[in-house]
Amino acid sequence: MKKAFLIFILMLIIPLKIEAYNLGESAILMEEDTKRVLVSKNMNKKKLIASTTKIMTAVIAIESGKTDKTVKVTDKVLEAYGSSIYLSVGEKMKLEDMLYGLMMQSGNDAALMIADYLGGEEKFVKKMNDKAKEIGMKNTSFKNPHGLDEKTQNYSTAYDMALLMRYANSFPLFKKITGCKKHTVKTDEKTYQWTNKNKLLYTYKYTTGGKTGYTDKAHRTLVTSASKDGLNLIVVTLNDGNDFENHKELYEYGFNNYEMVKVFDKDNMNLPNKKIYALDDYFYPLTSQEKKLITIDYKIKEKDNYKNEEEVGSAIVKLSGKTIHEEKLYISVKENSTKKNSWFSKLIDKLFS
């Protein structure tokens, strides 16, 4: 009863800031398309991230464009320890299949082989850090491709890892792999049968993917995503002993209280000049109470002559007076080409002007 009452009280706060509720050391519930944070607890606190590191490892591998290539396992694999898919020196495996072993079984040997194949561990880790900067992960530092932290440590935050999962989910192959429950691989030496370690895939029907992690120093780490009724959510928990259940509760909170609302309609702008147009609609996750708090301000540059399809201003979407989105506006000033180029039309204009 006490836990249920506490959840009810916390759900009255928008956006929800959980400090007392037991979500481990840090956590976040983010809406994927807009990056809106719906729930947070110490979301910018730097923490060891264990094997959730492998989300970035998978991203770099997918972006290499070599997932259809075959990797020959080198002696580098002998450095691997901890969770493994048990690759053998000299064995050949398609890079895409190795990614299944990386994400489903958290194979540290797979992580080492992927990095080794794609330029070596040092260059690969640099690519990881460069990509982190590119997608806005300001409080993240990668030192290895697997997440083991006895020798080198990978640090990030719940917020940064949510940004990473958001980016990773933009790749269909990543979503296919992390959403896979069982996968069979045949190499030149043996047959593998893998089952995904992400329990949410079996216990929460809206789950679309994710990655588990654990080390003695980092404790339990978990990054997952789920979708329902057009609402795409991401949850990250770091150092959370009850992570799977907490992810479910956060998703239920999000799905029960928010929906994606079209807050800007490009076909129904409240403007007297019908020649001004926008290219896209804009959707934003809102509670039923928040829908009434949306306003749109239009800022238009006034001038005597416009070029066709010139940017002339923006529509500023606000929630409770705070800007959440700006949509660029353009103007259409096309003229009838026949009239413009006709000598007769020009003569008529001159005579009667």
**Residues carrying an active site annotation:** 51, 54, 106
Exposed / middle / buried, residue 179 (Cβ in 10 Å: 0-12, 13-18, 19+): middle
**What residues does 313 pair with on adjacent strands?**
300, 329
- The radius of gyration of the chain's CA atoms, rounded to the nearest angstrom, is 26
Q: Are strands 92-94 and 294-300 parallel, antiparallel or unpaired?
A: unpaired
Cβ atoms 143, 132 nearer than 8 A: no
Cα–Cα distance, 247 to 228 (Å, whole number): 15
Helix (H) or strand (E) segment spanning residue 176: helix 172-178
Q: Which of 88, 113, 86 is nearest to 99 (CA)?
A: 113
Cβ atoms 255, 232 nearer than 8 A: no
Tokens of 61: 């591998």
Cβ atoms 32, 225 nearer than 8 A: yes
Please identify which residue in the block is written with the tokens 């264990």: 50
Residue 207: count of CB within 10 angstroms of its CB: 22
**Residues whose CB falls within 8 Å of the CB of residue 83, separated by 6 or more in sequence, listed in order:** 51, 105, 106, 107, 108
